[in-house]
Chains A and B, each alone.
Chain A
Amino acid sequence: MRVLSIDREKCTGCGICQVVCSLTKTGAVQPSLGRIQVHRDKRNLLQMVSVCQHCAEPACQTACLMEGIGKDFTSGEIFRDLSKCFGCGACTVFCPISAPIIDLKQGVVVTCDLCDGDPTCIKVCPHGAIRYGELIDASIDKRNRYGARFFGAQQEGVE
Chain B
Amino acid sequence: MKRKQMTLYVDTSRCMNCRACEVVCKMEHDLPAGPRYNMVVEIEVTRQGVDKCEFLPTPCMHCGDAPCIKSCPTGAIYKRPEDGVVLVDQGKCIGCRECLWACPFGVPQFGSSGLMEKCDLCQHLLEEGEVTACARACPAEAITVGTVEEISAKVRERYGKTSRQKYADGTQF
8 A Cβ contacts from A106-159 to B: 135-136, 138-144, 146-148, 150-153, 157-158
Q: Are B114 and A57 in contact (CB under 8 A)?
A: yes
- Chain A CB within 8 A of B110 CB: yes
Q: Are B106 and A143 in contact (CB under 8 A)?
A: yes
Q: Are A97 and B105 in contact (CB under 8 A)?
A: no
Q: Are A146 and B106 in contact (CB under 8 A)?
A: yes
Q: Are B34 and A136 in contact (CB under 8 A)?
A: yes
- Cβ of A150: which chain B residues have Cβ within 8 Å of it? 12, 43, 56
Closest to B106 in A: A142
The answer to whether A56 and B94 touch (CB under 8 A), given A8-B101, A138-B106, is: yes
What separation, in Å, do the CA atoms of A127 and B91 have in the docked complex?
37
Q: Are B73 and A97 in contact (CB under 8 A)?
A: yes
- Chain B CB within 8 A of A82 CB: no
The smallest C-beta distance from B75 to any residue of chain A, in angstroms, reads 11
Q: What 0/1 pattern do residues 15 to 59 of A give for CB contact below 8 A with B?
A: 000000000000000000000000000000000000001011111
Q: What 0/1 pattern do residues 53 to 68 of B give for CB contact below 8 A with A?
A: 0101010000000000
Residues of B contacting A: mostly: loop
The smallest C-beta distance from A148 to any residue of chain B, in angstroms, reads 5
Q: Are A139 and B106 in contact (CB under 8 A)?
A: yes
Chain B interface residue number, banded:
35 or more
The smallest C-beta distance from B57 to any residue of chain A, in angstroms, reads 10
- Chain B CB within 8 A of A5 CB: yes
Q: Are A76 and B114 in contact (CB under 8 A)?
A: yes
- Cβ of A146: which chain B residues have Cβ within 8 Å of it? 41, 56, 58, 104-106
What separation, in Å, do the CA atoms of A5 and B97 have in the docked complex?
9
Leading 3 A-B pairs by shortest Cβ distance: A56-B95, A56-B114, A142-B106
Please list the residues of chain B having a beta carbon within 8 angstroms of any beta carbon in chain A. 12, 34-36, 39, 41-46, 54, 56, 58, 73-74, 93-98, 100-101, 103-110, 113-115
Please list the residues of chain A having a beta carbon within 8 angstroms of any beta carbon in chain B. 1, 3, 5-6, 8, 53, 55-59, 76, 96-97, 135-136, 138-144, 146-148, 150-153, 157-158
17 A-B pairs within 8 Å (CB atoms) are namely A1-B110, A1-B114, A53-B96, A55-B94, A55-B95, A57-B115, A135-B97, A139-B36, A139-B100, A139-B107, A142-B105, A142-B106, A146-B104, A150-B56, A151-B43, A153-B46, A158-B44
